[in-house]
Amino acid sequence: AAIGDLQWRLHGTDAILAKAGQAIDHALAEPSEASVAQA
């Protein structure tokens, strides 16, 4: 169970990092107060 739990946590972390990366890319492409605040 510990290995499965670790895999779920890793998957969740990857998803969070991917979403953060997209927000940063958007803020760099179209800098505005809203996009920078979201990133």
- Residues 1-39 pLDDT 10s: 677 888 888 999 999 999 999 999 988 888 888 877 877
The closest of 10, 13, 12, 34 to 23, measured between CA atoms, is 34
Whole-model pTM? 0.62
The answer to whether the CB of 39 falls within 8 A of the CB of 20 is yes
**What's residue 1's pLDDT?**
60
Residues counted in the chain: 39
pLDDT of residue 38: 75
- The rounded distance, in Å, linking the Cα atoms of 26 and 7 is 29
Tell me the C-alpha distance between 36 and 14, whole Å. Answer: 21
Q: How many CA atoms lie within 13 A of 8 on its CB side?
A: 5
